Chain A
Amino acid sequence: MKKPLLLMAIVMVTSLTSFTQIARASASDVPANFVWVKGGTFKNTTSNYYGKGVVISDFYIGKYDVTQKEWLDVMGSNPSKFKGDSLPVEMVSWYDSIEYCNKRSIKEGLKPYYNINKDEQDPNNQPDPRFGYLDHMRWTVTINPGANGYRLPTEAEWEYAAGGGQSSQSYTYSGSNDIDDVAWYWRNSGDESLSGAWSWPPIEQNHDQPKPVGSKKPNELGLYDMSGNIREWCWDWNGELQANVTNPQGSPSGYGRVWKGGGWMGADFSAASAFRGSLAANGAGPDQGFRVVLNRR
């Protein structure tokens, strides 16, 4: 009787050890303050990509927007209008965000994801049909697909994660159909609650502004502030959505870069996960920031 018990004990210890090792290995794979997003097709029925044959590979995405402390640690100065370590960094252009990704990658010993050429104007950077060239920088930025450094999400990745990935409940906003549960936007980001139709003077007078990251409920994947607080830069040019493709990278050219999620200044509809916004790559505002992504290691 003792031998079988001893054998059973050995088997149990071995199994526990294996399980523990697996669990540790899995946990250590996910960088701090990142969430692993299991890939697949879009489950969120409100998504622009739902039923379009688009497949997303696994990736890691920041649990929070890049904060001002994180920005300062890498860049050395803080461009934000509203100051606070735990507030999302804002007043950053798309180019600023790209530079942050590379500098943080270098600082942490990762291979930079972007090639940045500031001397050659990108021919894919087109004039805005209404305003002409708003972007007078027009850096040429290309990617190193195999690099392990920080990068911006593609629009499809952002929308996939905001929509809850494979755990999606098909919410309109990231994590809820009630915007006040999950998002800071113009009605709830100031001294008092605002009602009626959007109007800037009352918003300004009400001292609306960004809020500390992670101070609303997360979405199905544990991501905070995907809707509201600050709008988030994506990699893509604004352009036609792609279908029947794995990991779409967006239009090959355009006159603005995509932002998603809406911010503290905007109306509710702009905070919906499916809403598509864009701004010239050199544009910036006190509601414009970003979060970063890593390829699966």
Chain B
Amino acid sequence: MHAMSFVSSRVQKVLLCALIAGGASMAADAQSVSNNGTGTNNGYYYSLYSSGGSATMTFPQASSYAGNYAITWSGVSDVVGGKGWSTGGNMSVGYNVGSASGYNTISVYGWTTNPLVEYYITEFGSLYTGNATYKGSVTSDGHTYSTYEHQQVNQPSIIGTATFEQYLDAWGGASIGSNGTVTTGNHFSHWKSLGMNMGSFNYMILATEAYNGASGQVNATVW
């Protein structure tokens, strides 16, 4: 996100979007988040970030499915939102995107430190990889991802200005309405085999992103 060439820089936003709490208009019961907000809902970390237009995040079925969330957006320059974990790691990330339209990507996204790494595992859509280096492929959870690596020099990061790498496993072929799984350990092991080492995990989230004046919606559940 930082002027990153690798994956859309917006994705970063997404993620985790740390929302501007002060500017966030979030209901006291955390059942509706307008434009920007972050927090915990039914045990999951959630985040919504948007610029331009409008975006609203709700948790319509979270009482039954704790990881459920829905986002609607209109005329946004960028919107990124989703649910996940404050600390990522080797786990089986289950998801079901019940409906989605007008989005650009839906990815598992996170950071590690020591070494500092920003990573993406893209399940829907595609990220820009024009300046990234193709490293090979990996098969996980029944499909094949293309692996890219990109170096960021003196760019903003979770520890401030830093030189670090971005890792991307790109697939993008997931289906609406079907359960999906991301066995993150397969990706991390694959990256390690390529010399793309990971560090200590910070947050990890299934992030939906849309931009360029888009209007649309997503209703998804993670577990």
Contacts and interface: CB of A to CB of B under 8 A. Distances in A.
Interface stretch (A19-27, A44-52, A64-72, A188-196): A188-196
A113 B13 CA distance: 44
A263 B157 CA distance: 11
Contacts of B80: 201
Interface in B164-178: 165
A279 interface: yes
A188 to B, nearest CB: 10
A200 B156 CA distance: 7
Nearest to A275: B159
B132 to A, nearest CB: 15
A131 to B, nearest CB: 6
Contact of A202 (B17, B165, B203): B17
Given A267-B158, A279-B161, A287-B160, A196 B16 contact: yes
B39 interface: yes
B36 A283 contact: no
Contacts of B151: 131
B107 to A, nearest CB: 14
Contacts of A280: 163
Interface in B46-65: 47, 49, 51
Contacts, number: 140
A197 B154 contact: no
A280 B151 CA distance: 14
Interface of A: 128, 130-131, 134, 186, 191-206, 231, 262-263, 265-267, 269-270, 275, 277, 279-280, 283-288
10 contacts: A191-B23, A196-B38, A197-B15, A202-B49, A262-B159, A270-B160, A277-B160, A279-B161, A283-B161, A285-B160
A280 B205 CA distance: 31
A73 B37 CA distance: 44
B202 A201 contact: no
B16 A286 contact: no
Nearest to B38: A196
Contacts of B86: 197
B1 to A, nearest CB: 5
Interface in B1-52: 1-2, 9-10, 12-24, 36-39, 45, 47, 49, 51
B153 interface: yes
Contacts of B36: 202
Contacts of B94: none
Contacts of B163: 128, 131, 134, 279-280, 283
Given A200-B13, A201-B13, A202-B49, A194 B160 contact: no
Nearest to B20: A192
B153 A196 contact: no
Contact of A198 (B18, B39, B45, B78): B18
B194 interface: no
A180 to B, nearest CB: 13
A49 to B, nearest CB: 19
